[in-house]
Chains A and B, each alone.
Chain A
Amino acid sequence: MSLLEVKGLKKHFPIKSGILKRTTGQVYAVDGISFSVEEGETLGLVGESGCGKSTTGRAVLRLIAPTAGTITFEGVDVMAASKAQMQTLRRHMQIIFQDPYASLNPRMRVRNIVGESLKIHNIGTEAERKKRVFELLETVGLSIEHAERYPHEFSGGQRQRIGIARALALQPKLIICDEPVSALDVSIRAQVINLLEDLQDEFDLTYVFIAHDLSVVKHTSDRVAVMYLGKIVEISDSAVLYDQPQHPYTEALLSAVPIPDPTTERARQRIILEGDVPSPANPPRGCVFHPRCPRAQEVCTTAMPALVSTGGDAGERHEVACYFPARFTGGVRSVANQPFGDAFPPASV
């Protein structure tokens, strides 16, 4: 059984306007995604701003209520959990936020920030909690004397360590890392990535690692899901995805990342996508990527292709939502001779 299982997750935000605040539209932030996370692995969620990756992270923890779909954590239905059940669940599911400046209460001392959840869950005596906070600070590479200080006395990297200590306090099984290193400088970023890797080994943690930086995700994740406009367009083992991307968006995304090596850069051929990401309030009909896709054909405008196995090296584990995946390179990419029948909408559509 997977630790976390998400099926058909949707989160639509209503757009309200006028004095009566009538709902005049929907932002399709997350629009029907499914994935599972095995115990001890890291699943990366990548995509550009507005693709719904953070919303996914928050919906999984029920920090925002999903519009539809099911979320199962260790066999328990998260969506149906009562308030009391939710509190127990939250002990096992924690989150690390992107902005270490905004996610720590400036009026609280570090010991209270880190120890707050212990108090809420009534764990241990006052003295035991204090000891645990000290332990946690040392685990993340801070020292005991930092406990009495306020967040403003720390640099960005140190604040992110405080956020990590807070997430670890209840010994969770799953941590959603929502862009944990994007706000940090290069040299500090590497420190935090290494820390997260060490903690995973030490405490058998499972991560959902949300980031827009593909090289960071490749480094940290075992499996990667690529998101575009609220949908997962491709998901696979990290090495396979980066080696043999199938979806044209994944290909373009990978080719757009500059590699810090001048020789490699001079030899590289870039796929540059035209235009911008459409608004999630008004997503294109059919495949969400078709207006920017270099391989789009008429069928792409009819319906979103299903996420199906590519039949490539990673077998079942490599899935792509595309009518014309890259594997299919020889000859004309025509509808008639494409092998991925499942991807096509039923004839009635």
Chain B
Amino acid sequence: MGERLLTVEGLSTHFFTYAGVVKAVNGVSFTLDRKETLGIVGESGSGKTVAALSLMRLIPDPPGKVVEGSLLLGDRDLRTITDEEIRQVRGNDIAMIFQDPMTSLNPVLKIGNQIAEAIMLHQDKSKGEAWRMAAELLDRVGIPDAAKRVNQYPFEFSGGMRQRAMIAMAISCNPDILIADEPTTALDVTIQAQIIDVIEEMQQAYESGVILITHDLGVVAEIADKVMVMYGGRTVEYGGIDEIFYNPHHPYTWGLLGSLPRLDQTEKTRLTPIKGQPPDLIALPSGCPFVGRCSYERPECRDQWPQLEIVGPEHGVNCWIPEDERREARATLLHFQEYAT
């Protein structure tokens, strides 16, 4: 892979609310290289979006605060640079595509205006030039008739086109890092395929690193190079894409994979759901947040968060179950028998 763009270590973001402290992100570490795609997978409330927003210092303070960790962009620490500097980082170095393109575009400004704004802010361009660039960008992300479309308002765009416009805006200043937060969740499946295509194309063209936040393991399998699985604000497992899918070590990862109905399955098998309900983020156990839902629970799980265990090249897991027992347990699961060797 290419040069290292981002190194995050021990990131913790907490929200201090009247009901108690919500530990939304709790000691999360990851890295991102140029041209690499990192998938962050987890269910609602697992902290994946908060982790991404922390990078761009977009956590509302109060109640939220990045309480720990270092966020290195090259050699700059995103936690300590000034507000002026972080404004330069946003858009220029790190850009973000949000889940819902309708609520993240300004409904009363023309699309061109919204894209040109970012260009004028970060680059020394006149208004006319910026608008011309905006039209070119729309064309690049596959919006037909871009010169006309640039003068339209968001309501005149369909959901898929709005997401394309968001991507155009995100790539307008050629950022090193592109964060896509559930970019296709609000879209239909045929439109989802188009948008994923555009993101991949833009990544190739601009050689950026992409952080893809999603709950859809299918999308991850399609475009990610490596995966971080989050649960209850913690990273339970991370690793290369094949490692996570074919050699998963954490019971939660097994559970996720077992819960999915698959289109390519010929026989009708019963799904293996994860029992129980997602945890209450205010009352997380001091140990592993997956306790109570895990079928392999041990006494130590409840009180102490396990150390990171390296199980392969670029593959780590946080789990108290010893490795040999884990392999045995996994081999008994129906949906992993084919990878049991």
Binding site for B on A (CB under 8 A): 48-49, 155, 157-158, 185-191, 193-194, 197, 212-216, 218-220, 239, 242, 252-265, 270, 272-273, 276-277
Given A262-B221, A272-B194, the answer on whether A194 and B188 have CB atoms closer than 8 Å is: no
The 30 sampled A-B contact pairs (Cβ below 8 Å) are A49-B188, A186-B215, A187-B43, A187-B259, A188-B273, A188-B278, A189-B273, A190-B258, A190-B259, A190-B260, A190-B273, A191-B273, A193-B273, A194-B270, A215-B263, A218-B263, A219-B265, A239-B266, A254-B263, A256-B190, A258-B196, A259-B262, A261-B221, A261-B264, A264-B264, A265-B218, A272-B190, A276-B160, A276-B161, A277-B188
Residue B121, interface by CB 8 Å: no
Out of B158, B189, B197, B258, name the residue touching A257 (CB < 8 Å): B189
Which chain B residues lie closer than 8 Å to A262 at the CB level?
Answer: 221, 241-242, 245-246
Binding site for A on B (CB under 8 A): 43-44, 158-161, 188-194, 196-197, 215-222, 241-242, 245-246, 255-266, 268, 270-275, 277-278, 293
**Minimum distance in angstroms from B228 CB to a CB of chain A:** 15
Which of A48, A49, A189, A259 gathers most chain B CB within 10 Å?
A259
Q: Would B218 and A259 count as touching, CB distance under 8 A? A: yes
Q: Would A190 and B190 count as touching, CB distance under 8 A? A: no
Q: Would A48 and B188 count as touching, CB distance under 8 A? A: yes
Out of B188, B245, B261, B278, name the residue touching A193 (CB < 8 Å): B261
Q: Would A186 and B260 count as touching, CB distance under 8 A? A: yes
Q: Would A259 and B259 count as touching, CB distance under 8 A? A: no
Given A155-B277, A185-B44, the answer on whether A265 and B263 have CB atoms closer than 8 Å is: no
Out of B159, B256, B257, B260, name the residue touching A215 (CB < 8 Å): B260
**Minimum distance in angstroms from B162 CB to a CB of chain A:** 11
Question: In whole angstroms, how far apart are the Cα atoms of A341 and B218 in the complex?
Answer: 40
Q: Would A252 and B190 count as touching, CB distance under 8 A? A: yes
Which chain B residues lie closer than 8 Å to A242 at the CB level?
Answer: 263
Question: In whole angstroms, how far apart are the Cα atoms of A155 and B256 in the complex?
Answer: 19
Question: In whole angstroms, how far apart are the Cα atoms of A239 and B268 in the complex?
Answer: 10
Q: Would B44 and A214 count as touching, CB distance under 8 A? A: no
Which chain A residues lie closer than 8 Å to B216 at the CB level?
Answer: 258
Residue of A nearest to B273 (CB): A190
Which chain A residues lie closer than 8 Å to B246 at the CB level?
Answer: 262
Residue of A nearest to B46 (CB): A185
Residue of A nearest to B191 (CB): A276
13 A-B pairs besides A194-B273, A257-B263, A260-B260 with CB distance below 8 A are A48-B190, A185-B215, A191-B273, A215-B261, A218-B265, A220-B261, A257-B218, A259-B264, A260-B221, A261-B262, A263-B242, A264-B221, A276-B191
Out of B158, B257, B271, name the residue touching A219 (CB < 8 Å): B271
